[in-house]
Structure 1
Amino acid sequence: METRLIDVLQPIKDNDYQLPENQSLQELTTMMLQKIGSVHPVLRDDLIHTIFTTFIERGHYSHEQLKNILQSILNKNYLFYRIGTSKREEDAVFKRSFSVLLIPPIMNKHRRTPFLKEAEVHRVWHNLKKYMQQESDHRGYVKGKGWAHAMAHAADALYHVASCDEITEAEIREMLPIIKAQFLIDHPYLFDEEERMVTAVMIMFKKIKPQARIEWLETLLYVRESWQDPREDIIINNSKHFLRALYFRMLEGDHRDLRQVLENLLRELRKQEAY
Structure 2
Amino acid sequence: MVVDQVAQTRQQLKKIQQQFMAGESFHELPERLNQLAKQVTYAADKTPVVLPRDTQTALARVKQIDDELKQSDEPQISNDDLQFLLAHLGVTNARLRDRGVYFLFNDLIRLTAFTPEQEEWLVMQLISPAYMFDHILEPHNNAVFKRSFAVMLLAGLLYADRHYYHVLSSAEINAVILAMATYMLLEQDGRGYIDHKGWAHSYTHIGNVLDELFQSTVLNRANKLFLLAAFYTGYRQMNDPLIYGEPQRLAMAVANLTNLNTLYTDYLLLILQDWQKEIAQLQPEQNIAFWNRWYNRDRLLQSMLVRGDQPQKIQDYLGKIIDMY
TM-score band by shorter chain is 0.7 to 0.9
Question: Following the alignment from structure 1 to structure 2, what is the Cα–Cα distance between the partners of residues 107 and 229?
Answer: 42
CA contact 2:188–2:240 (8 Å) conserved in 1: no
- Corresponding position of 1:213: 268
CA contact 1:81–1:96 (8 Å) conserved in 2: yes
**Greater shift in the superposed pair: 174-183 or 109-118:** 174-183
Question: Following the alignment from structure 1 to structure 2, what is the Cα–Cα distance between the partners of residues 144 and 19?
Answer: 33
CA contact 1:19–1:25 (8 Å) conserved in 2: no
2:315 to 259, 263, 274: 259
1:198 to 251, 254, 259: 251
RMSD (Å), alpha carbons: 2.3
1:94 paired to 2:145: yes
- Corresponding position of 1:178: 230
Structure-2 change in CA distance of 1:40 and 1:209 (3 Å): closer
- Corresponding position of 2:178: 126
1:39 paired to 2:95: no
Question: Following the alignment from structure 1 to structure 2, what is the Cα–Cα distance between the partners of residues 69 and 52?
Answer: 11
2:156 to 105, 110, 123: 105
Q: How does 1:6-45 map to 2 (within 5 A)?
A: 6-10=59-63, 13=66, 15=67, 18=70, 25-45=78-98
Q: Provide the identity percentage.
A: 21
Q: Which structure carries more helix by proportion?
A: 2
Q: How does 1:22-171 map to 2 (within 5 A)?
A: 25-84=78-137, 86-88=138-140, 90-113=141-164, 114-171=166-223
Cα deviations across residues 149-200 of structure 1 (Å, max 9, x unaligned)? Answer: 1121122112112211122222222223332233233321110111122222
User: Which runs of 5 or more residues in structure 2 are unaligned?
Assistant: 1-53
Structure of higher RCO (CA pairs closer than 8 Å, 6+ residues apart): 2
1:247 paired to 2:305: yes
Give the structure-1-normalised TM-score: 0.87
Measure how far apart 1:228 and its partner are.
Answer: 5.3
- The letter of the residue matching 1:109 is A
Structure-2 change in CA distance of 1:24 and 1:65 (3 Å): closer
Question: Following the alignment from structure 1 to structure 2, what is the Cα–Cα distance between the partners of residues 246 and 24?
Answer: 41
- The letter of the residue matching 2:78 is L
Measure how far apart 1:118 and its partner are.
Answer: 2.1
Question: Following the alignment from structure 1 to structure 2, what is the Cα–Cα distance between the partners of residues 45 and 74?
Answer: 20
CA contact 1:140–1:150 (8 Å) conserved in 2: yes
User: Which runs of 5 or more residues in structure 1 are unaligned?
Assistant: 270-275
